[in-house]
Amino acid sequence: MKKVEFILTLLLAIFMKNTYKLIWSDEALFNLKGIIDYLENRWTKREIKRFALLLDRQLKLINDNPFLFAESDKSNGLRKSVLSRQTTIYYRIVDNEIHIMTLFDNRQNPNKLRKK
C-alpha cells in the first residue's frame, strides 16, 4: 500500500464508524481451543482470565483499525498482531470483514505460515 493510500485509510478510519465484521477461520478456532485447553491444564483461572482480556483488547484494536498492524512477509495481504511472546494473531482484511486466519504459536516453525 502506498503512503498516500495508507494515510487516507487512517483518516477514513478516524472519521467513519467501524463497519468491519470479525470472522474466525476453523484453524483459528482450533488454535484458540488448544490454547484454552493448555491454560486450563497448566495454569489458574486467573491466567485464563488474563489471556481472555488480552485477546479481547487485541481483537478490539484490530477491529477498530485493521490497518494498524503490519503486513506479514509470509503471505500477501496477511497481517500480524503480536498478542504475547508466545502467540501472534494473523488476519486478512477482505472488504468489510476481518478474517482471523490463525492464532500462531511463535515457538513453532514459521514455515508453517507460508500456506496461509
pLDDT in tens, the chain (116 residues): 565 676 667 666 665 556 789 999 999 999 988 888 888 888 888 888 888 899 999 999 999 899 999 998 877 889 999 999 889 999 999 989 999 999 988 777 666 665 55
In this prediction, residue 115 carries a pLDDT of 56
In this prediction, residue 39 carries a pLDDT of 83
CA 97 to chain centre: 13
- Set out the domains of the chain in order of their start, with CATH numbers: 19-115 (3.30.2310.20)
pTM of the predicted protein model: 0.77
What does the DSSP 8-state code read for residue 67? T
Chain position carrying cell 478490539: 60
